[in-house]
Amino acid sequence: MSRAVIPLVIDTDPGVDDAVAIMLAAASPEVDLRAVTTVFGNVPLPNTTANARRVLALAGRDDVPVAAGAARPLVHPQAERAEAWHGDDGLGGRASELPEPGAEPDPRGAVAVLAAVLRESAEPVTIAPIGPLTNIALLLAVHPELAPRIRRIVWMGGSLGAGNTTGVAEFNAHCDPEAAHRVLTQADVPVTMVPLDLTMSCPAGPEWIGALAAGGPRGEALAQVITHYRTAFRTRYGIDAVAVHDAVAVLEAILPGTLTPTSMAIRVACDLGPARGATVAGGAGPHVGVALDADTDAVLAEILTRLRTLG
């Protein structure tokens, strides 16, 4: 049976789990990876951009264009980065051990490259933002005419329950709540939101990481990148496992329907109070599909199986 080809752009802040997600896309034959655009987030934009290029080189895909986007949020300064989780370099201290990056980033920048991909594509394009939504909010502001050319947005972010950056806010939403509000509440593009409620319920444990490492040199290098992140999870949560948040979202982008969405309106707290960045279900706004359920064992197994094909 022929597989549906998915024209895809990943917008990312690598980030250890971003690296897993990018490698997953590279390992997936359904994916026509048109570009990778980068955004501030886990670490500053220069690092996220260099990291995206190195991870693509690791995956043997340094042919994929990379373009840098927003270095900071739309309105207020970034309140918190995530070096504690991802290491000072964003890849668990292993960035320099990965292959040298390929071509220089596209000087047009993320928004222009996203617009060009959308304009030039024969069919609508899936966009998988796995960091703050700043680039996507800017794209929709500058090029509203291109919204119909976006098949869907599959965003890793938000949480209906506990947050991971504050008690109530998930990191990607907390980085730029105004951008999240713009993308989640103005109905110009179908959105699937993949929140912590789901991604924290499918932790990748020692066997998963061991099988990744045993898959070959690329899997071993990625497992090394995960080491620091794994220590952070042990310290913070007391578990020997990691949440591959971004890879769960990208698997949904690659295989639509892998996750089970619930349709609901989402409101984003954009005040400067203690709830800033919270994503709250309910209200009168347009609905998004919030992925709250999945066969999490099957999701983890599928991600691992695909990653291991990279060798």
Residues with a known catalytic role:
245
Nearer to Ca ion, 91 or 241 (CB): 91
Nearer to ligand RIB, 156 or 198 (CB): 156
Measure the CA–CA gap between 183 and 178, rounded to whole angstroms: 9
Nearer to ligand RIB, 146 or 155 (CB): 155
Nearer to Ca ion, 91 or 294 (CB): 91
Minimum distance of ligand RIB from residue 176's CB (angstroms): 11
Q: Please report whether residue 69 would count as binding Ca ion according to CB under 5 A.
A: no
Q: Please report whether residue 246 would count as binding ligand RIB according to CB under 6 A.
A: yes
Binding residues with ligand RIB: total (CB under 6 A): 16
Minimum distance of ligand RIB from residue 86's CB (angstroms): 7
Q: Of residues 21-50, which lie at the interface with Ca ion (CB under 5 A)?
A: none
Minimum distance of ligand RIB from residue 238's CB (angstroms): 18
Q: Of residues 171-190, which lie at the interface with ligand RIB (CB under 6 A)?
A: 171-172
Q: Please report whether residue 130 would count as binding Ca ion according to CB under 5 A.
A: yes
Q: Which of 47, 126, 135, 164 binds ligand RIB (CB under 6 A)?
A: 164
Instruction: List residues near ligand RIB by CB under 6 A.
Output: 13, 15, 17-18, 41-42, 82, 130-131, 156, 164, 170-172, 245-246
Residue ranges in contact with Ca ion by CB under 5 A: 13, 15, 18, 130-131, 246
